[in-house]
């Protein structure tokens, strides 16, 4: 079997496919990381301060978050990809393991993003939709863009991240789900969607009130997750798994307030879109023939680089850049322009025979790209155009033309790890490379099996005993390392462990200076968590502070954080404000109940405690045993 697996890897390694999906995967991974960094910046004091605004333990956190945002932007744009991806991977590890993010504000997708980042270190995700691609072209300015072959990559670059980051996760999750009664009843998607803490602003009750539909969704997800790792790569089943998976995670993104998790999983499905779909979309969106022809001076390095740069962003191929010295004579409309004049500016002609030059050419180029048309409009505005034309004239009149000696330029080398390992080492020693890759993938499989067997079977079946204690310690150590660096962890999400006994929710109100009671903009009177308190802030309150068995010490810590954070945000004088801890009863049954979401939202709130600040100290009064109320 090991030999068959190795031979299959060797065959897939040599199969070349377009890099389109991989480039989009990198772009959206960087975008999701960037939005999460903005989220951390917004909730900086709530997440990282021991006492928000009053006790700032990490004053440099915003600086590091801004640096991380710069790195994530480089990842998204594909600029200096290898360095940016390595820095991004390290930032995820550092913030998750050395700040309160993991302990108190687990986003539910942090380890998943670490795992994806780990694979992106070795993937050729810079070959499409990247600035690095442009940098390589600009290092050879006298090579026409048509001379570059379309970038291709090994099909393994698509299969391996999907198999490990999605397939392993789904299989592990399905094992845990089999121990949850509501999942066995086909209500795995229904139960979380009936709890006010977990739902988004969209009311999904019309769908939740169809028992047959909820059973269909629940059982479909179980089968989908259990079988994904075995069949997703088969050509005739890939589209089925693609459509079900995209629908599943789009539904999570829209209906639950854990949208980062949904988006993080969703971006992987760019790697599962059939290559023929990309070609079909190309036939639809890419122009059949250019709508604008641009002439540039072939012996001008600046003009060549300009043509390469503008062509790089012409993703719909509506513009054709041609050598003025050789091609202008083929257009009768250009005959009136002297050759000396033609080489002084960037000229263009559209399909209607209209001729443009200088800044007008740039304006037309941006307009013809479609998605950059607003730049072309700005360049045409009367207040902007004179200034731009003056700057353009200064550059155009001082540019230097090139002689034959400077036509030969050393190209910029692609030094990514993928190039070194796959495009060089694998080509030179294919059998050795395949053998080592097989061993690495086997190790990753064993790490996942260790996690699944330990927490999915031994823990669930309560098979722990003193004889297995040394093995348990070794297993825990392996899980610690695999979680930290590869993102392989147990995935017992929203199971019976969480919902059994989850029959009460808490919120916070306060009495303002006029004596009027108001709700903090955190949990509203329905019990629903308000935006932007979603993602990891939701996890802090709904999964750690408020649980089936509430720990008063832990709850008081988060009441302190929330009141201090929103007190400052709302301009409340904490020393003169009394906060009220409200509790409402809810239900989380394992059997289907019609309109349960509205029933849980319509319950009556009862004040069970108060919180009062004095200087930098808070006095919280709560019942000794909230769970018994």
pLDDT per position as a tens digit, 29-62: 999 999 999 999 999 999 999 999 999 888 899 9
Spatial CA neighbour of 364 closest among 353, 351, 348, 352:
348
* Burial group, residue 213, by CB count within 10 angstroms (0-12, 13-18, 19+): middle
Instruction: Quickly count: other Cβ atoms within 10 Å of residue 317's Cβ.
Output: 16
Question: Buried b / exposed e across 409-420, counting CB within 10 Å, b at 16+?
Answer: eeeeebebebbe
User: Would you kindly state where each structural domain of the chain is located, as residue ranges?
Assistant: 2-274+419-485, 284-407, 500-628
How high is the pLDDT of residue 117? 94
Q: Give yes or no for a contact between 113 and 487, defined as CB atoms under 8 angstroms apart.
A: yes
- 263-306 pLDDT, tens digit per residue, is 999 999 999 999 889 888 888 888 889 999 988 888 888 888 88
Contact indicator for 313, 78 with CB cutoff of 8 Å: no
Residue 410's pLDDT is 64
pLDDT at 508: 96
Residue 210: Cβ within 10 Å count? 15
**What pLDDT shows up at residue 194?**
95
Tokens of 131: 């600035």
Strand order in the sheet with 347-350: 319-323, 292-296, 347-350, 355-357
User: Do 583 and 608 form a contact (C-beta atoms < 8 A)?
Assistant: yes
* Structure-block tokens of residue 40: 């951390």
Per-residue confidence (pLDDT) for residue 138, from 0 to 100: 83
What's the confidence (pLDDT) of residue 407? 54
Q: In the prediction, which pLDDT does 224 show? A: 97
- Alpha carbon of 544 to those of 84, 102, 105: distances in Å? 33, 11, 9
Determine contact, residues 344/396, Cβ cutoff 8 Å: yes
DSSP three-state, residue 289: coil
pLDDT at 409: 60
Q: Kindly state the tokens that stand for 286.
A: 């890419």
Beta pairing class for 578-585 and 605-614? antiparallel
CA–CA distance, 490 with 552 (Å, rounded to integer): 27
Low-confidence ranges of the chain (pLDDT < 70): 1, 340, 401-410, 464, 467-468
Burial status of residue 125 (CB atoms within 10 A of its CB: 0-12, 13-18, 19 or more): buried
Calpha distance 538→109 (Å, rounded)? 13
Residues facing residue 610 across a β-bridge: 580, 621
Instruction: Give me the residue label for tokens 């660096």.
Output: 485
Per-residue model confidence as pLDDT tens digits over 98-139? 888 888 898 778 988 999 999 999 999 999 999 998 888 888
Distance separating alpha carbons of residues 530 and 550, to the nearest angstrom: 22
How would you classify the pairing of strands 319-323 and 292-296?
A: parallel
Could you read off the pLDDT of 159-212 as tens digits, one per residue? 999 999 999 999 999 999 999 999 999 999 999 999 999 999 999 999 999 999
């Amino acid at each position: 079997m090991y030999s068959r697996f190795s031979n299959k890897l060797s065959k897939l390694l040599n199969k070349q496919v377009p890099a389109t999906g991989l480039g989009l995967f990198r772009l959206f991974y960087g975008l999701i990381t960037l939005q999460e960094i903005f989220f951390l910046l917004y909730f900086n004091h709530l997440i990282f301060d021991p006492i928000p605004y009053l006790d700032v333990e990490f004053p440099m956190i915003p600086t590091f978050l801004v640096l991380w945002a710069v790195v994530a932007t480089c990842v998204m744009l594909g600029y200096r990809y290898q360095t940016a991806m390595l820095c991004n991977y390290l930032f995820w590890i550092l913030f998750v393991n050395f700040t309160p993010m993991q302990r108190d504000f687990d986003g539910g997708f942090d380890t998943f993003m670490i795992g994806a980042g780990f694979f992106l270190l070795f993937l050729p995700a810079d070959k499409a939709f990247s600035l690095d691609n442009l940098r390589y072209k600009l290092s050879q300015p006298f090579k026409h863009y048509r001379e570059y072959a379309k970038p291709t990559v090994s099909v393994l670059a698509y299969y391996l991240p999907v198999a490990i980051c999605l397939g392993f996760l789904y299989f592990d999750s399905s094992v845990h789900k089999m121990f949850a009664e509501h999942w066995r009843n086909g209500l795995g998607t229904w139960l979380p969607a009936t709890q006010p803490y977990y739902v988004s602003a969209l009311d999904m009750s019309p769908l939740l009130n169809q028992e047959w539909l909820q059973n269909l969704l629940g059982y479909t997800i179980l089968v989908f997750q259990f079988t994904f790792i075995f069949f997703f790569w088969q050509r005739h089943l890939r589209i089925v798994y693609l459509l079900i998976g995209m629908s599943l995670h789009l539904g999570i993104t829209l209906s639950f307030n854990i949208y980062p998790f949904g988006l993080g999983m969703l971006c992987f499905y760019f790697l599962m879109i059939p290559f023929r779909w990309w070609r079909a979309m190309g036939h639809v969106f890419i122009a059949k023939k250019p709508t604008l022809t641009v002439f540039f001076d072939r012996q001008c390095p600046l003009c060549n680089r300009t043509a390469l740069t503008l062509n790089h962003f012409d993703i719909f191929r509506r513009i054709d850049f041609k050598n003025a010295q050789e091609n202008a004579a083929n257009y009768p409309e250009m005959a009136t322009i002297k050759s000396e004049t033609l080489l002084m500016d960037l000229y263009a002609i559209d399909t209607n025979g209209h001729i443009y030059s200088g800044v007008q050419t740039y304006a037309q180029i941006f307009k013809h790209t479609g998605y950059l048309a607003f730049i072309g409009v700005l360049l045409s505005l009367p207040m902007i155009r004179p200034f731009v034309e003056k700057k353009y004239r200064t550059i155009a009149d001082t540019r230097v033309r090139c002689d034959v000696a400077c036509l030969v330029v050393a190209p910029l080398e692609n030094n990514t790890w993928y190039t070194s390992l796959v495009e060089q080492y694998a080509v030179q020693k294919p059998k050795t490379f395949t053998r080592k890759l097989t061993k690495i993938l086997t190790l990753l499989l064993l790490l996942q099996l260790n996690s699944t067997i330990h927490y999915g079977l031994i823990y669930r079946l309560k098979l722990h005993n003193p004889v297995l204690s040394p093995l348990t310690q070794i297993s825990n150590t392996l899980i610690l390392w695999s979680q930290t660096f590869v993102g392989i962890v147990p995935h017992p999400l929203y199971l019976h462990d969480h919902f059994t006994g989850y029959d009460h929710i808490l919120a916070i109100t306060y009495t303002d200076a006029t004596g009027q009671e108001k709700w903090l903009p955190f949990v509203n009177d329905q019990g629903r968590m308000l935006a932007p308190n979603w993602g990891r802030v939701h996890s802090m309150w709904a999964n750690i502070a408020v649980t089936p068995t509430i720990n008063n010490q832990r709850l008081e810590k988060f009441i302190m954080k929330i009141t201090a954070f929103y007190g400052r945000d709302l301009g409340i004088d904490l020393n003169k404000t009394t906060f009220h801890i409200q509790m409402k009863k809810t239900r989380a049954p394992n059997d289907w109940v019609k309109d349960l979401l509205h029933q849980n939202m319509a319950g009556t709130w009862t004040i069970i405690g108060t919180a009062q600040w004095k200087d930098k100290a808070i006095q919280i009064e709560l019942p000794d045993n909230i769970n018994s109320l």
